[in-house]
Chains A and B, each alone.
Chain A
Amino acid sequence: MSLLKEMKKGLFTSLWFVFLTFPLMVIKVDPIERVVRWRWENALYVAVGTFLMYLLVTFLMQRKNARAATETEVDADRESFIHRLIASPRQKYLLGGALLAVAIAFPFFSSSYQTNVMTTALMYVVLGLGLNIVVGMAGLLDLGYVAFYAVGAYSYALLNHHFGLGFWAVLPIGGGLAAIFGILLGFPVLRLRGDYLAIVTLGFGEIIRLILENWGEFSKGPSGISNISRPGLFGLELNLDAAIIYIYYLMILFMIVTIFIVNRLQDSRLGRAWIALREDEIACQAMGIDKRKTKLVAFSLGAFWAGIIGVVFAAKTTFINPASFTFLESAIILAIVVLGGMGSIIGVILAALILILLPEYLRALSEYRMLAFGAILVAMMVFRPQGLIANIRRTYIFEKEKSPAEKS
């Protein structure tokens, strides 16, 4: 297509968007003072922004199409840089060791605020990996993931408040309770089709939050629970800075354990059953996989991780209230999984670090954080559904040359 024609189309698109955003972007009224502010400069920004965006998208689409036309067979060779890096075990361990060394040394040359931010990012890494089991591997879209997170957090807060139970005692209880909730919810709803499941889990997440908000005698309502004790270290009294560093190391430990378990799960019989269920349920049942049991295990395992991190969250902030467990939280975790690439472990880790740390360090951007998350979900689905780092399935390659008839 000629450049001029593209320019013209881009111009029309930007005009359309100026019209579209006119009432919301340009006019701002103050109904109490009864004054109208016309922000014409915004119309200009929208016009220029859309025009550039249109050119960028057209360019990307053309490149994508051109690439699809030329490269069909050599897909296997086009593994990303990271995949090649971890292909050989030696490089993999070297890289992992180096990253671990940096992670361990991190608290010593940064402030406790930085360490705290990093702990949050690590929590999202583990949450992302947990949701990745449900969404990425088993293909069950769970929009109420935050409910299980809330269950974990509240079980620690309440048990600590009423019975004085410590962090380590509640950690398995919180995870277990969340997993039980996962089974309770999963048992009736898992036979629903994918999109219904998404809405029911969303409804469930909201129910949990509303109950926590309104059942004052149980959860202390919107004011939340404060003075939750921090995790103990063999009865040592830790000051605030030491406690932050301690939780940071705990999170690193949790992350390593999670990565190890998820990695092993992926290649296990169960993991393969999940992936097969995601691809084709009917074929799977025909092969003798118990659909309901397999899905339930995925659901409750995902919930278990959310519960564990919920306990850590309550211990880290020492204060929780229902406002931390809104739908947006679920959406952030989903954005992490989608951006990273569903089913891809490295992708999820990278995406969690990007999505949580970037708004933290670019303060000017933090206002646009949720806007960007929404845009990321759409853009990833449209342009790169496999995510930043696609999960490469184990494939067996036959060395023998195929006959031309087989190729089609």
Chain B
Amino acid sequence: MDYFIELFCSGLTRGAIYALIALGYTMVYGIIGLINFAHGEIYMIGAFTSFIVATVLSIYGFPLLAIVVLAGLAAVVWSSAYGYTVEKIAYKPLRHAPRLSPLISAIGMSIFLQNYVLLAQTSDFLPFPTLIPEFAFMEPVAHIVGSTDIVILITTTIMMLILTVVIKGTKVGKAMRATSQDRTMAMLVGINVNRIISVTFIIGSALAAVGGLLIASHIGQINFFIGFLAGIKAFTAAVLGGIGSIPGAVLGGLVLGLTESFATGYVSSDYEDVFAFSLLVFILIFKPSGLLGKAETKKV
């Protein structure tokens, strides 16, 4: 039973992270109908930035709390900046191009960013500093649930609550919902659609950065290639929940995380990634609209 709970908790943790990244995919898809292939790389850049800032600060002897706050802030700021710039360079000029063009451009951007980090930093795995201490009150259950798991779950819950408030309650959120429903109509009622798209990219990137920071401190090492796999898995989560739907992304992330955790725990750990990919292929074949998504009707 302990083993089951352990797998369940690690699945939830994984799932929460996937959900954080999946939100970026789903929001961008909801607004401009593009699979932002470079989103995984934004997450990787978030993890790298927090790694650099945290290590520099710890070398200069800052206290742990300051390191955590500053590293998190830096990750969010720079990831958002990258997300914004990527949209401006690679997607904005292609707003009216055929459907495949922005996708190819996104793949190019993803390869570019990967190799940019590889050349600017290193290709080795880097040890990520421990940012989350082992809490004393977690001692009795530490063999089942780690402190990091708890911190990750709480942080992602808070992030998702903030996101819900922003989308449901603020003016920007309202404009975002309007743009995703009908871009032309939104423009006609005076919404600056380009600005809303930029805001969407910035919010999605900020969430990915938080995900990057959390998972890097959970796993304990990073390298330039982590974005590729995480990106595909988060995309799987987004599709599983129904792409374009925000609760769907969270649900999809959790389902994927639990599936992976149980599959590796009870079946085989060698094929961890194969499970995720197969899940993706099967959903797309049998239920492309996802768990919570609406089936798309095409008018001719």
> Within 8 Å CB of B284, what residues of A?
189, 192, 196, 199-200
Per-residue CB contact flags for chain B residues 83-119 toward chain A (1 = under 8 Å, else 0) read: 0010001100110011111111101111111111101
Per-residue CB contact flags for chain A residues 270-284 toward chain B (1 = under 8 Å, else 0) read: 000000000000100
**Which residues B111-164 have CB closer than 8 A to chain A?**
111-117, 119-121, 126-127, 129
CA distance A36 to B62 in the complex (A): 15
In the assembled complex, B235 has its CB within 8 A of some CB on chain A: yes
> In the complex where A196-B288, A200-B284, A206-B273 touch, is A139 in contact with B300 (Cβ < 8 A)?
no
CA distance A200 to B35 in the complex (A): 13
In the assembled complex, A178 has its CB within 8 A of some CB on chain B: no
CA distance A282 to B107 in the complex (A): 27
Categorize the interface residue count of chain A.
Answer: 35 or more
Contact indicator B108/A23 (Cβ below 8 Å):
no
Q: Is the interface of B mostly helix, strand, loop or mixed?
A: helix
Contact indicator A378/B108 (Cβ below 8 Å):
yes
CA distance A199 to B228 in the complex (A): 12
Nearest chain B CB to A359's CB is how many angstroms away?
Answer: 13
> Within 8 Å CB of A21, what residues of B?
120
Listed stretches A154-162, A207-215, A294-302, A305-313; interface member:
A207-215
> Within 8 Å CB of B93, what residues of A?
382
**Which residues A327-368 have CB closer than 8 A to chain B?**
327-328, 331, 334-335, 338, 367-368
In the assembled complex, A264 has its CB within 8 A of some CB on chain B: no
In the assembled complex, A376 has its CB within 8 A of some CB on chain B: yes
In the assembled complex, B48 has its CB within 8 A of some CB on chain A: yes
> Within 8 Å CB of A20, what residues of B?
78, 81-82, 85
CA distance A327 to B110 in the complex (A): 12
Nearest chain B CB to A108's CB is how many angstroms away?
Answer: 38
CA distance A335 to B107 in the complex (A): 10
Contact indicator B280/A24 (Cβ below 8 Å):
no
> In the complex where A19-B81, A378-B108 touch, is A31 in contact with B101 (Cβ < 8 A)?
no
Number of A-B contacts (CB under 8 A): 163
CB within 8 A of A381: which of B49, B85, B94, B277?
A: B94
CA distance A24 to B35 in the complex (A): 26
CB within 8 A of B119: which of A16, A196, A202, A367?
A: A367
CA distance A301 to B35 in the complex (A): 27
Nearest chain A CB to B271's CB is how many angstroms away?
Answer: 6
In the assembled complex, A238 has its CB within 8 A of some CB on chain B: no
Nearest chain A CB to B241's CB is how many angstroms away?
Answer: 15
> Within 8 Å CB of A210, what residues of B?
271, 273-274, 277
CA distance A200 to B102 in the complex (A): 17
In the assembled complex, B66 has its CB within 8 A of some CB on chain A: no
CA distance A328 to B111 in the complex (A): 8
Contact indicator B108/A31 (Cβ below 8 Å):
no
> Within 8 Å CB of B2, what residues of A?
none
> Within 8 Å CB of A25, what residues of B?
120
Nearest chain B CB to A383's CB is how many angstroms away?
Answer: 9
> In the complex where A371-B116, A374-B112 touch, is A24 in contact with B52 (Cβ < 8 A)?
yes
> 6 A-B residue contacts at CB 8 Å?
A29-B59, A31-B55, A195-B103, A204-B277, A210-B274, A374-B111
What are the nearest 8 A-B pairs in CB distance?
A: A377-B108, A374-B112, A374-B111, A381-B105, A378-B108, A203-B277, A371-B115, A214-B270
Binding site for A on B (CB under 8 A): 34-35, 45, 48-49, 52-53, 55-56, 59, 74, 78, 81-82, 85, 89-90, 93-94, 97-105, 107-117, 119-121, 126-127, 129, 228, 232, 235-236, 239, 270-271, 273-274, 277-278, 280-281, 284-285, 288, 300
Binding site for B on A (CB under 8 A): 16-17, 19-21, 23-25, 27-29, 31-32, 34-36, 42, 139, 141, 143, 188-189, 192, 194-196, 198-200, 202-204, 206-207, 210-211, 214, 282, 327-328, 331, 334-335, 338, 367-368, 370-371, 373-379, 381-382, 385
